[in-house]
Amino acid sequence: MTEHKIYKNAVLDDIELQEGLKGINPKFGDFVTRVAGEAWGLPLIDQKTKALITIAVDVANQDHTGSGNPFGAHVNMALKQGATREEIEELLLFMCVYAGFNKVAGCFGTLNTIFELRRPKQSGIREL
């Protein structure tokens, strides 16, 4: 079962996210936290929906691979806000129509890798 940490502001309240941004570059991390934190603080769209929107933007921009890419962070952000893998997969299918099948195919590959890394490690002991 996935642990949810639903935040009032998915940027300003998530210290782990902020540390990851600072790990890219300290000034970049501080800047993104301030600017994105203000946008994420706008009241009319809930945090889960905003997180799903960021994934859609990543698909359109092809920001799912390479150093510093936001796709993994946005997937984790959406999961923390209560989104399910199934909702993210449906979003990717929806984006096929608007961003293109080839763009989405790569995102599915990256999404599978994200979930493989989240899976608890096996003990290595097999039952007979």
Give a yes or no: residue 47 inside a domain: yes
Give a yes or no: residue 40 inside a domain: yes
The arithmetic mean of pLDDT across residues 34-54, rounded, is 94
Domain of 42, in residue numbers: 15-118
92 vs 21, residue with greater confidence = 92
Number of domains forming the structure of the chain = 1
Instruction: Give the per-residue SS3 of the chain.
Output: CCCCCCCCCCCCCCHHHHHHHHHHCHHHHHHHHHHHHHHHCCCCCCHHHHHHHHHHHHHHHCCCCCCCCCHHHHHHHHHHCCCCHHHHHHHHHHHHHHHCHHHHHHHHHHHHHHHHHHCCCCCCCCCC
Give a yes or no: residue 32 inside a domain: yes
Given a cut of 50, whether residue 1 has pLDDT beyond it is no
Give a yes or no: residue 2 inside a domain: no
Give a yes or no: residue 27 inside a domain: yes
Given a cut of 60, whether residue 125 has pLDDT beyond it is no
Give a yes or no: residue 124 inside a domain: no
Give a yes or no: residue 34 inside a domain: yes
114 vs 3, residue with greater confidence = 114
CATH number for 46: 1.20.1290.10
Whole-number average pLDDT of the chain = 87
Give a yes or no: residue 125 inside a domain: no
